[in-house]
Amino acid sequence: MDKKICVYAIAKNEIKFVDRWYNSVKEADYICVLDTGSTDGTFEKLSSLGVITKQKKYKNFRFDVARNDSMKLIPDDTDICVCIDLDEFFVSGWSTLLKQNWKEDTTRARYRYTWNFNPDGTEGVVFMLDKIHKNKMYNWTHPVHETLTNTTKDKEIFIEIPNIQLNHRADNTKSRSNYLPLLELSVKEYPSDDRNMHYLGREYMFYGMYDDAIKTLKKHLELPKAVWNLERSASLRYIANCYKMKNDKINQEKYLLLAILEANYTREAYYDLAIFYFENKEYLKSAYTFNEMLKITNRTLNYMSAPHCWNFSAYDYLSLCYYEIGNYKKAIDTINIAILFNPKDNRLKENKQYFIKKLNNL
């Protein structure tokens, strides 16, 4: 029997995205949207397209409550549920791939997710997302950065389908001001949850609340459940950044070194430490650290993987390090690699000519 797929979502004032979103999800057997109070015609537009819709306004909005309410719209004969926001869109053919790969015992699917794009159109942050799940087995928990929680005693069976591609084009005009209070509420409700403790510390950092960020991120590192070394390394990097903003160079360097020790197979902490040395004119240390970073050639798909660690940026800085220590030949070789990544950058080309001139004048 053919498996039935239902796409479900929550939405508020997403009229600019409705057509793109609908065209990407119409491969599904059912489409359901809970509108949480649109005033721009989103609800009416979705209804006109035949989407199963309902409108519900919340006095105290929480993402988990709204998503659980949206799941109530899913038809009973649905086999596979797909949660996708309206500022996201699938590459066509996703439903066929999902049905081909979904087995009788599958409960969750991971797929490739591009969270943002660089100004030149290339991909930014890319990781594997897992908001495709078996029907009647999960609900959503946490007021923000909500997660799927198994409500049964059945074992979870994950599959990976990297050929399914979901893209995200965020509406940057929308306020995210409710995230901080919702994260604080989440940590209050789930004090032992490592994930949202990490997110709360990061949010404090974004708001410039550096002492609160340091305290919260250190608390994250102390939690028994905080065992994912990539996230632990990120917390250590964020702590270092907070110390940077407090002009505490000793602790900034300390926590960047700790971040490398926590996950020495990813580039991010090496990059941040190399920049620290560069900004403090320790060019030998910076060059060494950049070279250590560039030995890492496998980019893991996770939300903490920073695009600038994989583009021309490291080679750009490294060429300047070589210039500062008087190794103009290596400066030229390195800037050439940076130019291969970014051939339209005139500054890189001008730097190359300057390095050549310095080498010829030796």
Q: Does the residue 241 lie in any domain?
A: yes
Q: Are residues 17 and 162 in the same domain?
A: yes
**Hey, what are 76's tokens?**
């009973």
Q: Are residues 322 and 226 in the same domain?
A: no
Residue 315 corresponds to which amino acid?
Y
**Residues pairing with 90 in the sheet:** 166
Average pLDDT over residues 180-196: 96
Q: Does the residue 305 lie in any domain?
A: no
**Residues pairing with 34 in the sheet:** 10, 54
Taking the C-alpha atoms of residue 152 and residue 138, their distance in angstroms, rounded to an integer, is 8
Q: If you average pLDDT over every residue of the chain, what do you get?
A: 96
Q: Does the residue 300 lie in any domain?
A: no
Q: Are residues 151 and 239 in the same domain?
A: no
Q: Are residues 187 and 163 in the same domain?
A: no
Domain boundary among 116, 134, 168: 168
Q: What pLDDT was estimated at residue 1? A: 56
The whole-model pTM stands at: 0.91
Angle, CA 247 vertex, CA 243 and CA 248 arms, to 5°: 55
Task: Read off the CATH number of the domain in which 96 is found.
Answer: 3.90.550.10
Q: Does the residue 299 lie in any domain?
A: no
Q: Where are the alpha helices (DSSP H) in 72-115?
A: 94-101
Task: Read off the CATH number of the domain in which 204 is found.
Answer: 1.25.40.10
Confidence band of 84 (pLDDT split at 50, 70, 90): very high
Q: Are residues 87 and 223 in the same domain?
A: no
Structural element, H or E, at residue 133: strand 126-134
32-54 pLDDT per residue, tens: 999 999 999 999 999 999 999 99
Domain that holds residue 43: 5-168
- DSSP state letters, 57-76: --SS--HHHHHHHHHTTS-T
Q: Does the residue 303 lie in any domain?
A: no
Taking the C-alpha atoms of residue 255 and residue 82, their distance in angstroms, rounded to an integer, is 39
Average pLDDT over residues 79-99: 97
Taking the C-alpha atoms of residue 108 and residue 283, their distance in angstroms, rounded to an integer, is 47
256-300 pLDDT per residue, tens: 999 999 999 999 999 999 999 999 999 999 999 999 999 999 998
C-alpha distances in Å from residue 333, one per residue of 287, 297, 311, 314, 316: 14, 19, 16, 13, 11
211-244 pLDDT per residue, tens: 999 999 999 999 999 999 999 999 999 999 999 9
Q: Are residues 224 and 338 in the same domain?
A: no
Taking the C-alpha atoms of residue 277 and residue 144, their distance in angstroms, rounded to an integer, is 36
Q: Are residues 211 and 154 in the same domain?
A: no
Q: What pLDDT was estimated at residue 188? A: 96
Average pLDDT over residues 12-26: 97
DSSP state of 93: T
Kindly tell me if the per-residue pLDDT of 175 is higher than 80.
no
Confidence band of 174 (pLDDT split at 50, 70, 90): confident
Q: Are residues 111 and 17 in the same domain?
A: yes
Alpha-carbon torsion angle 12, 17, 18, 24, nearest 10: -130
Q: Does the residue 302 lie in any domain?
A: no
